[in-house]
Amino acid sequence: MPSNKDDGGWKKFLWDSEKGELLGRTGGSWFKIIAFYIVFYGCLAGIFIGTIQALLLTVSNYKPTWQDRVAPPGLSHTPRSEKSEVFYNRNDPETYLPYTKALRNFLAKYGEELQRDQMKFEDCGVDPAEYKNRGDLESDIGIRKACRFSRSLMGPCSGTEDPDFGFKDGTPCLIVKLNRVVNFLPKPPSSNESIPEEAQPKVQPNVVPIYCTNKREEDAGKIGEIKYYGIGAGFPLQYYPYYGKLLHPHYLQPLVALQFTNLTMNTDLRIECKVFGDNIMYSDKDRYQGRFDVKFSITSL
Amino acid sequence: MHTWVAINLPKYSYLPGELHAWSTFPITLTDIKLLDGLTNAKAAEYLIRDGPNALTPPPTTPEWIKFCRQLFGGFSVLLWTGAILCFLAYAIQAATEDDPAGDNLYLGIVLTAVVVITGCFSYFQEAKSSKIMESFKNMVPQQALVIREGEKVQINAEEVVGGDLVEVKGGDRIPADIRVVSAHGCKVDNSSLTGESEPQSRSPDCTHDNPLETRNLAFFSTNCVEGTARGIVICTGDRTVMGRIATLTSGLETGKTPIAKEIEHFIHIITGVAVFLGLTFFILAIILGYSWLEAVIFLIGIIVANVPEGLLATVTVCLTLTAKRMAKKNCLVKNLEAVETLGSTSTICSDKTGTLTQNRMTVAHMWFDNQIHEADTTEDQSGASFDKSSVTWLSLARVAALCNRAQFKAGQDQLPILKRDVAGDASESALLKCIELSCGAVRAMRDKNKKVAEIPFNSTNKYQVSHRLYYRCDLNDNRYLLVMKGAPERILDRCSTILIQGKEQPMDEELKESFQNAYMELGGLGERVLGFCHVMMPEDQYPKGFAFDTDDVNFQTDNLCFVGLMSMIDPPRAAVPDAVGKCRSAGIKVIMVTGDHPITAKAIAKGVGIISEGNETVEDIAARLNIPVSQVNPRDAKACVIHGTDLKDLSQDQMDDILRNHTEIVFARTSPQQKLIIVEGCQRLGAIVAVTGDGVNDSPALKKADIGVAMGISGSDVSKQAADMILLDDNFASIVTGVEEGRLIFDNLKKSIAYTLTSNIPEITPFLLFIIVNIPLPLGTITILCIDLGTDMVPAISLAYEAAESDIMKRQPRNPFRDKLVNERLISIAYGQIGMIQALGGFFAYFVILAENGFLPTQLVGIRLNWDDRSVNDLEDSYGQQWTYEQRKIVEFTCHTAFFVSIVVVQWADVIVCKTRRNSVFQQGMRNKILIFGLFEETALAAFLSYCPGMDVALRMYPLKPSWWFCAFPYSFLIFVYDEVRKLLIRRNPGGWVERETYY
């Protein structure tokens, strides 16, 4: 080690004027080694890019090779929040502004004025219907039309009448969507066995029902009524399957708006929402797969 | 009457702590009555005052300090930092969040466990080797015969106190330093103290100023060989000469072993890189707007990725394996690191007695019938023999057998003669064995010839005369036979005739000259020459029953008949010349350092090749050219023999000059202090010095040496304590094995480290890209630990079993200043080249998995912020699909697993590539079974970690699709081809640019 030598060891190592060495190498030596590494890394980069290109050739443009991790789909909600908590003070608009802003932004793409182009959109009815097959993924039909989904279906939660989405009145809205999965066909429940009794009235043909209730026993009765808006108060099947970004660029996924009309104020409430279907699964670890829970805490003081 | 009590020894600077304490030892005359010894009360009082008569064991490091050293040494500090940062991060999280993620706590615990487990592992390895030492300790307490209150009592030697009157007899160990007051044919073996193999007689007279040479002192822990003596204890315990040397030894600072220095150097480099990278990215992360917490987590990740956690354990295991292999070859390694030291040794200072020689006097030559005959000195009696039919030889054998007090100990009849134990001094034993071997039945000869009188050997008359009745029944011969042996010139003086071909002839000048020549020649061989004569006493003067008086000699002791000469030497061991030759071709200088006489030392040095054939000393040149020594140019002489007294007068520069300019050096008559000076001199010249020795006098040098090698059989406890390595068979040739193993392990450690360091790059780069280009993390800290402590371990260790690429005993020892274990070329290859290819292999697998799951490479850059946001549960991939946090994390962890598996795959190629540094794998072959096992083991382990149920929870590793295993295959192949080409270029252009830049 150069530092072990006499005092000038380090300095001499940095620049040895006798031999013309910088950091122990002469200029020519530095040039050679740097040139070597440039060429070496150049070749490596070439090889790497080559293998990545080969990889891209093997993946389909329309559908990922594996979908076992993304399906069964997650259930996500807007507004989203840190640790799925909705905290605000009714009397202080500052506290709920982020939520209403998120809702407005989210619903902006569901505006009716954006869905007028007949080449891109079609009506799929306001009642739940069968799956709408638009041909195979790999067939050469090209871009598929999307079903219209107007934000007006969200009723009081559409934001058109109430720009505060009920937050100001203590009746906040939550918009729920079933995560998009290419070519995934959600199946409505075929039997009532796995569905809790209270949710059973919600089961109807061609709809994947959603049902929310208190998560904790002690919150029973404090939640009040929850109103569901949307086609069939669930996820109607005519919006499926989804053909992917490339073939289905204008696709609008069906939404369900939840309005909590009578939440108990000034207390923590945990609400769990679940969708029910034969190919909808839940996982202990993933709290957003087929269900989610959210904590409300609204102060009115 | 009482003069013997006054111990008037002049000051003698034998050791730094002078021995004048001897003369001031507080014994008063009134304490002792000469015959009665001490009173019990006094003895008890002295025992309390002076402490027990035992050497204070060298201060040992307490076990907990040793443990802590393992726990906080090396990379541990970095890992501890990592662990503490983990706990800190968790504490911050716990303080600020209600539901903190357990990741950091978990990682902190894992890191702590890693440090503690590797620390314990190294500690137990160390402890194991020190346990071996304990088995050497003499468990049987020493006994001593003391006279107290007029009675002889057997007491524990530890209870002997100053002033005690003790009695020793042949075979006893001397319990303390004693002043002899009366002796009967007492001889002591001081070899463990002075290195002199010749037993020395002891008598009450003070003969010399030097306490080590005076006849009236016997020293603690030396042995009484024969006779009896009574003496008064003057020093006990640590105050004895032995104690002083032991103290000198334990006071010496031992330097770090070369491998320890190398490892330290290497740890510095790696730590430097880790700290530099860690801090750079910590600052970068802060600048890029990451939170403190995130920056700290990055810092932890970089540290964990940079530190080769398993490497020190691997090194320990490699050294242990070599130590075991060496133990099988009779080299017992006390200190693991010493395994390699022998390999880098450039100078061996070897003791003569016992190491180079057999440590038993053996008759080497005989002169009778005016001719020198050679006896067989080999250990297995494979050498040449001489004509045994001569009548003169029978007479000589008879004199040697009768004039000899040595005898075989009982119950050894089935043993070969050379292996039998003999009671008696070394030269008489040699004679006894020689006669028993060539004529047999010495006992019968002695039974037939009864001894009637004897004058024992002493230094003033220097001859020994045994009168024996020699009764010839058949001839009705009642004459007495007088036999005598002693210093040849004294014997000759007493002779008037000489026996030639069985006939007595008058001793004329011609025969005398012939005798002189033979005597000189044998003496010049370093042999101890004895003359033998006899005479048949005339019956008329000495009739049967004649009363021989040995005190007032009333019989004929001259006009005898000279029979012959026998010369003895402690012959070199059979394997030594070859071993010395091997050392020389391996570039190792062998220096002989002995307490013995220069002539003997030189003879042995020539015999074993330390002074090689044709090389002359200054004295030899002077003798050949017939000019004074002062006129010879010292540069002409490659060899030199230096006497201890000359050494004393040499300045440091002169000493350096000798060590530098003479290739073949023998130091004779050296004291422990001088041995130390010689070792230091060699070390000053940059040599790595191995010292071999068995005696207490060698122990300071053993301790000072880079590696001390003690003798397992003849070695004293003190020397074993001071040494790093013990030769179980006392054979110098075993050292050569040690050198070979040491060099091999150094080469193999390089390979092992190159292998282990390579995987650091694919471990660090994921973190760097994660921070800089914001992609999802490709490899987690837990998976990094799985590589470092899991899959990399067995292949890295297996490289220790790799066979040498070329004859490692044909090259020079490594230069400790230039030839580093880890050099910039190794780093360049491991980090800059192979490591980079490996990283690409890992990244390729990562991109494959993400792309096949929907996230194409182009979309990944910058995705990290949303990817790691728990509240984003609808993250879109390249196909428009939406992912929840947990779903994409599973994909991320699958990527970690795939990255990990890819590293295993590229490490296959790396371990094969690291097998050799110059040769092609096709030349080297795949004969290393452990390595093949390692390849399968790491693969099986990787598969287990990926597919075993529950791993997703325990280590966050997920099952891989079979096709993902093959992602890194092209890169693995690339590594193999690249390195084969590189090594081909090295072989094709020796000294070329490729070799200068990449040969590590």
Q: What does the pLDDT look like over B430-453, one tens digit per residue?
A: 888 888 887 777 888 777 777 777
Choosing among B98, B775, B879, which should be mutated to test the A contact, i.e. which has the most A CBs within 10 A? B879
Is the CB of A76 less than 8 angstroms away from the CB of B882? yes
Q: Residue A247 burial by CB count (10 A; 0-12/13-18/19+): exposed, middle or buried?
A: buried
Long-range contacts of the stretch B676-681 (C-beta < 8 A, 24+)? B676/B252, B676/B700, B676/B701, B676/B704, B677/B647, B678/B349, B678/B591, B678/B593, B678/B647, B679/B349, B679/B704, B679/B705, B680/B704, B681/B652, B681/B655, B681/B656
Nearest one of B756, B805, B757 to B923, comparing CA atoms: B805
Mean pLDDT of chain B: 83
Q: Residue B912 burial by CB count (10 A; 0-12/13-18/19+): exposed, middle or buried?
A: buried
Q: Residue A228: its pLDDT value, please?
A: 92
Judgement on whether residues A158 and A262 belong to the same structural domain of the protein:
yes
Q: Residue B196: its pLDDT value, please?
A: 63
- Bridge partners of B483, per DSSP, are B466, B534
What ipTM, to 2 d.p.? 0.93
Are residues B799 and B876 in contact, defined by beta-carbon separation less than 8 angstroms? no
Give the pLDDT band (50/70/90) at residue B381: low
Question: A103 in helix, strand or coil?
Answer: helix
Residues 6+ apart with CB under 8 A from B552: none
Give the pLDDT band (50/70/90) at residue B19: very low
Nearest by CB to residue B881, choosing from A70, A177, A287, is A70
Examine the residue annotation and report whether B177 is marked as an active-site residue of this protein: no
DSSP notation for B886-955: HHHHHHHHHHHHHHHHHHHHHHHHHHHHHT-SSS-HHHH-S--HHHHHHHHHHHHHHHHHHHSTTHHHHT
Q: Is the pLDDT of residue B185 over 60?
A: yes
Give the pLDDT band (50/70/90) at residue B977: very high
Is the CB of B879 less than 8 angstroms away from the CB of A80? no
Give the range among B556-560, B641-645, B980-984 with minimum mean pLDDT: B556-560
Q: Residue B15: its pLDDT value, please?
A: 30
Judgement on whether residues A32 and A178 belong to the same structural domain of the protein:
no
- The count of other CB atoms within 10 Å of the CB of residue B815 is 12
* Residue A113 is assigned to a structural domain of this protein: yes
B209-229: per-residue pLDDT in tens? 777 777 888 888 788 877 888
Judgement on whether residues A43 and A114 belong to the same structural domain of the protein:
no
Give the pLDDT band (50/70/90) at residue B630: confident
Query: Which strands form B347-350's sheet, in the order they lie side by side?
Result: B331-333, B725-727, B707-711, B689-693, B347-350, B589-593, B664-668, B639-643
Is the CB of A74 less than 8 angstroms away from the CB of B884? yes
Judgement on whether residues A124 and A239 belong to the same structural domain of the protein:
yes
DSSP notation for B332-369: EESSTTHHHHHHH--EEEE-STTTTB-SS-EEEEEEET
Judgement on whether residues A47 and A173 belong to the same structural domain of the protein:
no
Average pLDDT over residues B582-588: 91
* Residue A69 is assigned to a structural domain of this protein: no
Residue numbers in B near A70 (CB within 8 A): 853-854, 877, 881-883, 887
Q: Along the 301 residues of chain A, how does pLDDT read in single tens digits?
A: 344 444 456 777 777 777 777 777 888 889 999 999 999 999 999 999 999 999 999 999 899 999 999 988 999 998 887 778 888 998 888 999 999 999 999 999 898 888 888 888 998 888 888 998 888 888 878 888 899 998 888 888 988 888 889 898 889 999 999 999 999 999 998 887 778 888 888 888 889 999 999 888 888 888 888 999 988 888 999 999 999 998 999 999 999 999 998 888 888 899 999 999 988 989 888 889 999 989 998 988 7
Question: B881 in helix, strand or coil?
Answer: coil
Q: Residue B524: its pLDDT value, please?
A: 82
Is the CB of A70 less than 8 angstroms away from the CB of B837? no
- Bridge partners of B506, per DSSP, are B497
Give the pLDDT band (50/70/90) at residue B776: very high
* Residue A101 is assigned to a structural domain of this protein: yes
* Residue A94 is assigned to a structural domain of this protein: yes
Residue numbers in A near B873 (CB within 8 A): 74, 76, 80, 179, 288, 292
Average pLDDT over residues B695-721: 81
* Residue A64 is assigned to a structural domain of this protein: no
Strands (DSSP E) found in B85-203? 143-148, 151-156, 165-169, 177-189, 200-202
Give the range among B60-64, B302-306, B359-363, B457-461 with minimum mean pLDDT: B457-461
Report the residue of chain B nearest A85, measured CA to CA.
B871
Q: Is the pLDDT of residue B133 over 60?
A: no
B139-151: per-residue pLDDT in tens? 456 788 888 887 8
DSSP letter assigned to residue B832: I
Residues 6+ apart with CB under 8 A from B287: none
Choosing among A1, A6, A23, A65, which should be mutated to test the B contact, i.e. which has the most B CBs within 10 A? A65
Q: Is the pLDDT of residue B559 over 90?
A: no
Judgement on whether residues A247 and A100 belong to the same structural domain of the protein:
yes
Of B88 and B971, the structure prediction assigns the larger pLDDT to: B971
Q: Residue B849: its pLDDT value, please?
A: 95
Is the CB of B873 less than 8 angstroms away from the CB of A52? no
* Chain B residues within 8 angstroms (CB to CB) of chain A: 98-99, 265, 268, 832-833, 836-837, 840, 843-844, 847-848, 851-854, 856-857, 870-874, 876-888, 890-891, 894, 961, 970, 974, 993, 997
Q: Residue B23: its pLDDT value, please?
A: 40
Residue B173 carries which side chain, given as an amino acid letter? R
Nearest one of A103, A98, A83 to A296, comparing CA atoms: A83
Q: Which of B50, B172, B189, B351 is catalytic?
A: B351
Q: Is the pLDDT of residue B24 over 80?
A: no
Judgement on whether residues A289 and A191 belong to the same structural domain of the protein:
yes
B281-314: per-residue pLDDT in tens? 899 888 888 888 888 888 888 888 888 888 888 8
Q: Is the pLDDT of residue B887 over 60?
A: yes
Is the CB of B879 less than 8 angstroms away from the CB of A283? no
Judgement on whether residues A186 and A116 belong to the same structural domain of the protein:
yes
Are residues B314 and B796 in contact, defined by beta-carbon separation less than 8 angstroms? yes
Q: Is the pLDDT of residue B6 over 50?
A: no
Q: Is the pLDDT of residue B3 over 50?
A: no
* Residue A252 is assigned to a structural domain of this protein: yes
Q: Residue B598: its pLDDT value, please?
A: 86
Q: How far is CA B820 from CA B322, B483, B749, in A?
A: 20, 67, 11
In whole angstroms, give the CA distance from residue B130 to residue B53: 25
* Residue A206 is assigned to a structural domain of this protein: yes
Are residues B468 and B480 in contact, defined by beta-carbon separation less than 8 angstroms? yes
Judgement on whether residues A52 and A79 belong to the same structural domain of the protein:
no
**CATH at A131:** 2.60.40.1660
Domain count, chain A: 2
Residues 6+ apart with CB under 8 A from B209: B9, B10, B12
CA-atom Rg of chain B in angstroms = 37
Judgement on whether residues A168 and A234 belong to the same structural domain of the protein:
yes
- Bridge partners of B915, per DSSP, are none
Q: Residue B953: its pLDDT value, please?
A: 85
B308-340: per-residue pLDDT in tens? 888 888 888 888 888 888 888 888 888 778 888
- Bridge partners of B466, per DSSP, are B454, B483
* Residue A132 is assigned to a structural domain of this protein: yes
Any alpha helices (H) in B539-639, and if so which ranges? 576-585, 598-608, 618-625
Give the range among A110-119, B58-67, B526-535 with minimum mean pLDDT: B58-67
Is the CB of B873 less than 8 angstroms away from the CB of A56? no
Give the pLDDT band (50/70/90) at residue B254: low
Query: Angle between the B885-914 and B929-947 helix axes, to the nearest 10 degrees?
Result: 180
Task: Please report, rounded to a whole number, the percentage of residues in chain B having pLDDT higher than 90.
Answer: 22
Judgement on whether residues A41 and A153 belong to the same structural domain of the protein:
no
Q: Residue B2: its pLDDT value, please?
A: 30
Q: Residue B464: its pLDDT value, please?
A: 52
Give the pLDDT band (50/70/90) at residue B881: very high
Domain that holds residue A125: 75-299
Q: Is B848 left (phi over 0), alpha (psi -120 to 50) or beta?
A: alpha
Judgement on whether residues A94 and A243 belong to the same structural domain of the protein:
yes
